Homo-oligomer: A and B are copies of this chain.
């Protein structure tokens, strides 16, 4: 009975004893992100995640409240990373709006390549039937949309607010869809995707008479 099960816990900083909360939380998040991204939310069990960390279930509940809470924490982390990546690109000052938008799109597509796991999480959990998660994701999109709208406004200041918003939403939607398309067609690079999308929308970036 008291087998003590000397199993492998794949955690990187795999200590065997008590860890301070902050450290444990990071460890749990790393494992949970992997499990959720691989199996999806529904097919992942809290027991399994706990076991992989080398911990028992009540600790997960102590730190994250619920299964949904744990997923939410993972999603929050991933969306933060995505946001950082794109806003960093948008901060490249001095260039014209056209170039700036190009850089943002490129940063977005590259995120999928360079942060495969967070991206898989955001992708597979994108429209999960959990209101809180969806809200968090919508918040990210809102930020992306706002950012895009501002870039557009610099190019086409004569457009009204509603149209700017519609353009921004359209571009975000196109991005998400193209990113998914790239999963099916691995030969398409982030640069390719950016070029295609720019080809579609750039005629609309220059003010019309």
Residues of A participating in the B interface, judged by any CB pair closer than 8 Å: 40-43, 123-130, 162-163, 165-167, 169-178, 180-181, 188, 192-193, 196-197, 199-201, 203-204, 208
Interface residue SS majority, chain A: helix
Contact, CB under 8 Å: B181 / A177: no
Known A42-B130, A128-B128, A169-B178; 18 more pairs at CB < 8 Å: A40-B130, A42-B42, A43-B129, A124-B129, A125-B127, A125-B129, A165-B181, A166-B193, A166-B197, A166-B200, A169-B177, A170-B174, A170-B196, A170-B200, A172-B177, A173-B178, A174-B177, A203-B204
Contact, CB under 8 Å: A169 / B188: no
A117 to chain B, nearest CB (A): 16
Copies in the complex: 2
The one of B129, B177, B203 that contacts A170, using a Cβ cutoff of 8 Å: B177
A175 to chain B, nearest CB (A): 7
- How far, in whole Å, are A181 and B193 apart by their CA atoms in the complex? 24
Contact, CB under 8 Å: A199 / B43: no
Which residue on chain B has the smallest CB distance to residue A197? B170
Which residue on chain B has the smallest CB distance to residue A124? B129
